[in-house]
Amino acid sequence: MRIGILDCGGANLNSIHYSLTRLGVNSLISTDKNELDLTDGLILPGVGSAGNVMKNLKDKNLISYIKNTKKQVLGICIGMQILYEHSEEDDVHCLGIIKGKIKKFKPTQALPVPQMGWNNVIDQNKKLSNQYYFANSYYAPVSEYTVATSSYINDFTSILQKDNFLGCQFHPEKSSFAGVKFLNYFMSTICK
Protein backbone atom coordinates (compact mmCIF):
# COMPACT_ATOMS: atom_id res chain seq x y z
CA MET A 1 0.00 0.00 0.00
CA ARG A 2 1.19 3.51 -0.81
CA ILE A 3 -0.33 6.76 0.45
CA GLY A 4 0.06 10.14 -1.22
CA ILE A 5 0.38 13.08 1.19
CA LEU A 6 -0.58 16.24 -0.69
CA ASP A 7 1.78 19.12 -0.10
CA CYS A 8 -0.78 21.91 0.16
CA GLY A 9 1.28 24.25 2.32
CA GLY A 10 0.70 22.62 5.70
CA ALA A 11 3.38 22.28 8.32
CA ASN A 12 2.81 18.69 9.46
CA LEU A 13 3.79 16.80 6.31
CA ASN A 14 6.79 15.06 7.83
CA SER A 15 5.00 14.08 11.05
CA ILE A 16 2.29 12.37 8.99
CA HIS A 17 4.93 10.69 6.82
CA TYR A 18 6.79 9.43 9.92
CA SER A 19 3.54 8.20 11.49
CA LEU A 20 2.75 6.17 8.38
CA THR A 21 6.31 4.83 8.24
CA ARG A 22 5.99 3.61 11.86
CA LEU A 23 2.86 1.74 10.78
CA GLY A 24 4.78 0.09 7.93
CA VAL A 25 2.94 2.13 5.27
CA ASN A 26 4.85 3.52 2.31
CA SER A 27 4.04 7.18 1.60
CA LEU A 28 5.23 10.06 -0.50
CA ILE A 29 4.78 13.82 -0.20
CA SER A 30 3.86 15.26 -3.58
CA THR A 31 1.75 17.58 -5.71
CA ASP A 32 2.51 15.68 -8.93
CA LYS A 33 -0.70 14.11 -10.24
CA ASN A 34 1.25 11.39 -12.07
CA GLU A 35 2.88 10.33 -8.79
CA LEU A 36 -0.40 10.63 -6.87
CA ASP A 37 -2.14 8.45 -9.49
CA LEU A 38 0.14 5.58 -8.41
CA THR A 39 -1.01 5.71 -4.78
CA ASP A 40 -3.81 3.78 -3.08
CA GLY A 41 -5.11 6.64 -0.95
CA LEU A 42 -4.56 10.35 -0.30
CA ILE A 43 -4.11 12.52 2.78
CA LEU A 44 -4.86 16.24 2.92
CA PRO A 45 -2.74 17.29 5.89
CA GLY A 46 -3.60 19.86 8.53
CA VAL A 47 -1.81 22.91 9.96
CA GLY A 48 -2.24 26.10 8.00
CA SER A 49 -4.99 28.52 7.04
CA ALA A 50 -7.93 27.80 4.75
CA GLY A 51 -7.04 30.62 2.38
CA ASN A 52 -3.42 29.53 2.04
CA VAL A 53 -4.30 25.86 1.54
CA MET A 54 -6.93 26.62 -1.11
CA LYS A 55 -4.51 28.99 -2.91
CA ASN A 56 -1.83 26.29 -2.95
CA LEU A 57 -4.27 23.69 -4.29
CA LYS A 58 -5.43 26.11 -6.99
CA ASP A 59 -1.86 27.09 -7.94
CA LYS A 60 -0.92 23.40 -8.22
CA ASN A 61 -4.07 22.60 -10.23
CA LEU A 62 -5.24 20.01 -7.69
CA ILE A 63 -8.78 21.16 -6.88
CA SER A 64 -10.61 19.13 -9.54
CA TYR A 65 -8.18 16.24 -9.02
CA ILE A 66 -9.20 15.97 -5.36
CA LYS A 67 -12.90 16.53 -6.02
CA ASN A 68 -13.02 13.83 -8.68
CA THR A 69 -10.77 11.17 -7.17
CA LYS A 70 -12.22 7.76 -6.39
CA LYS A 71 -9.36 7.01 -4.00
CA GLN A 72 -9.96 7.03 -0.26
CA VAL A 73 -9.07 10.50 1.04
CA LEU A 74 -8.32 11.51 4.63
CA GLY A 75 -8.51 15.20 5.50
CA ILE A 76 -6.73 16.12 8.76
CA CYS A 77 -7.65 19.36 10.61
CA ILE A 78 -7.56 22.07 7.90
CA GLY A 79 -7.53 19.19 5.40
CA MET A 80 -10.97 18.21 6.74
CA GLN A 81 -12.23 21.80 6.87
CA ILE A 82 -11.47 22.49 3.20
CA LEU A 83 -13.78 19.62 2.24
CA TYR A 84 -16.66 22.01 3.07
CA GLU A 85 -18.15 24.71 0.84
CA HIS A 86 -16.85 27.74 2.71
CA SER A 87 -14.68 28.73 5.65
CA GLU A 88 -14.96 31.80 7.85
CA GLU A 89 -11.18 31.61 8.08
CA ASP A 90 -9.98 33.97 5.34
CA ASP A 91 -13.63 34.05 4.06
CA VAL A 92 -12.71 31.52 1.39
CA HIS A 93 -14.61 29.14 -0.87
CA CYS A 94 -13.37 25.60 -0.35
CA LEU A 95 -13.72 22.28 -2.21
CA GLY A 96 -17.50 21.97 -1.73
CA ILE A 97 -17.49 18.19 -1.23
CA ILE A 98 -19.42 18.59 2.04
CA LYS A 99 -22.28 21.06 2.32
CA GLY A 100 -21.87 23.69 4.99
CA LYS A 101 -19.63 26.35 6.40
CA ILE A 102 -16.65 26.16 8.75
CA LYS A 103 -17.13 28.56 11.68
CA LYS A 104 -14.84 30.21 14.23
CA PHE A 105 -15.12 29.31 17.90
CA LYS A 106 -16.30 32.19 20.07
CA PRO A 107 -14.02 32.20 23.14
CA THR A 108 -15.39 32.20 26.67
CA GLN A 109 -13.74 33.12 29.96
CA ALA A 110 -13.12 29.45 30.69
CA LEU A 111 -12.26 28.27 27.17
CA PRO A 112 -9.78 30.22 25.03
CA VAL A 113 -9.37 30.00 21.26
CA PRO A 114 -7.59 28.14 19.77
CA GLN A 115 -8.48 24.81 21.33
CA MET A 116 -5.09 23.24 22.09
CA GLY A 117 -4.81 19.83 23.68
CA TRP A 118 -6.62 16.57 24.27
CA ASN A 119 -10.37 16.22 23.88
CA ASN A 120 -12.89 13.38 23.83
CA VAL A 121 -14.23 12.12 20.53
CA ILE A 122 -17.58 10.35 20.80
CA ASP A 123 -18.48 7.97 17.99
CA GLN A 124 -22.04 6.60 18.09
CA ASN A 125 -20.68 3.20 16.97
CA LYS A 126 -17.95 3.37 19.63
CA LYS A 127 -15.19 2.07 17.35
CA LEU A 128 -13.41 5.45 17.04
CA SER A 129 -14.29 6.94 20.44
CA ASN A 130 -11.15 8.02 22.26
CA GLN A 131 -9.09 11.03 23.34
CA TYR A 132 -7.26 12.79 20.51
CA TYR A 133 -5.05 15.87 20.20
CA PHE A 134 -6.68 19.03 18.78
CA ALA A 135 -5.24 22.38 17.67
CA ASN A 136 -8.02 24.43 16.06
CA SER A 137 -9.74 27.82 16.11
CA TYR A 138 -12.40 26.83 13.57
CA TYR A 139 -14.87 23.96 13.55
CA ALA A 140 -17.44 22.13 11.45
CA PRO A 141 -21.00 22.12 12.84
CA VAL A 142 -22.65 18.73 13.37
CA SER A 143 -24.33 17.53 10.16
CA GLU A 144 -25.61 14.44 8.36
CA TYR A 145 -22.00 13.49 7.56
CA THR A 146 -20.85 13.61 11.18
CA VAL A 147 -19.52 10.25 12.41
CA ALA A 148 -18.21 11.49 15.76
CA THR A 149 -18.50 14.66 17.81
CA SER A 150 -16.51 16.56 20.41
CA SER A 151 -17.36 19.48 22.62
CA TYR A 152 -15.35 22.67 23.05
CA ILE A 153 -17.40 25.82 23.59
CA ASN A 154 -20.08 23.97 21.57
CA ASP A 155 -20.55 20.53 20.00
CA PHE A 156 -18.78 20.09 16.66
CA THR A 157 -17.85 17.45 14.10
CA SER A 158 -14.61 15.69 15.01
CA ILE A 159 -14.91 12.90 12.38
CA LEU A 160 -16.92 12.99 9.15
CA GLN A 161 -17.51 10.56 6.30
CA LYS A 162 -18.99 11.16 2.88
CA ASP A 163 -18.45 8.60 0.14
CA ASN A 164 -14.66 8.13 -0.18
CA PHE A 165 -13.86 11.19 1.95
CA LEU A 166 -13.01 10.77 5.64
CA GLY A 167 -12.12 13.77 7.77
CA CYS A 168 -10.87 14.32 11.30
CA GLN A 169 -10.58 17.65 13.10
CA PHE A 170 -7.88 16.29 15.43
CA HIS A 171 -4.30 15.33 14.62
CA PRO A 172 -3.91 11.54 14.59
CA GLU A 173 -0.16 11.93 14.04
CA LYS A 174 0.03 13.63 17.48
CA SER A 175 -2.54 11.47 19.26
CA SER A 176 -0.40 8.56 20.49
CA PHE A 177 -2.10 5.12 20.48
CA ALA A 178 -5.52 6.60 19.64
CA GLY A 179 -3.99 8.22 16.57
CA VAL A 180 -2.41 4.95 15.50
CA LYS A 181 -5.79 3.26 15.81
CA PHE A 182 -7.42 5.99 13.72
CA LEU A 183 -4.77 5.84 10.98
CA ASN A 184 -5.17 2.06 10.88
CA TYR A 185 -8.92 2.59 10.49
CA PHE A 186 -8.22 4.84 7.46
CA MET A 187 -5.92 2.17 5.98
CA SER A 188 -8.67 -0.42 6.46
CA THR A 189 -11.06 1.69 4.32
CA ILE A 190 -8.52 1.50 1.46
CA CYS A 191 -8.28 -2.29 1.71
CA LYS A 192 -12.05 -2.86 1.38
Residues designated catalytic: 77, 171, 173
- Between strands 146-152 and 26-30, the pairing is unpaired
Number of other residues whose CB lies within 10 A of the CB of residue 52: 16
Quick check: 120 and 149 in contact, CB under 8 A?
no
Alpha-carbon Rg for the chain, nearest whole angstrom, is: 15
- Identify the helix (H) or strand (E) that includes residue 101: strand 98-104
Determine contact, residues 137/90, Cβ cutoff 8 Å. Answer: no
The whole-angstrom separation of Cα 173 and Cα 147 is: 19
- Whether the CB-CB separation of 179 and 132 falls below 8 Å is answered with yes
